[in-house]
């Protein structure tokens, strides 16, 4: 997937899936970085960044609190 310079995480999710983008906007989904920290959708998407969509509020036992 190619993303333009200055794209936000919301832009990346929108390019990936319109349905996921709507769920992210409604608060059903949340974006986490590769370390397991929740990331704001209006934050910058960095080159080489790894982001994961998960249901908001659900903790994965392998992720930090």
Q: Indicate the pTM of the whole model.
A: 0.77
How much is the pLDDT for 7?
93
| Confidence band of 2 (pLDDT split at 50, 70, 90) | confident
Cα separation of 37 and 63, whole Å? 8
pLDDT digits (tens, 9 = 90+) for 22-48: 999 999 999 999 999 999 999 999 888
The pair of structure tokens assigned to 60 is: 């994965």
62 pLDDT higher than 80: no
Token representation of residue 13 = 């999710």
pLDDT at 65 over 60: no
DSSP 27-55: TSEEEEETTS-EE-TTSBPPTT--EEEEE
Domain boundaries, the chain: 9-55
Tokens describing residue 30? 């949340």
* Mean pLDDT of the 3-16 span: 91
Beta bridge partners of 30: 54
């Amino acid at each position: 997937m190619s993303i333009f310079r200055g794209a936000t995480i919301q832009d990346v999710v929108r390019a990936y899936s319109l349905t996921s983008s709507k769920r992210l906007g409604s608060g059903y989904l949340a974006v986490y970085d590769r370390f397991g920290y929740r990331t704001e959708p209006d934050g910058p998407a960095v080159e080489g960044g790894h982001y994961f969509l998960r249901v908001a509020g659900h903790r994965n036992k392998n992720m930090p609190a």
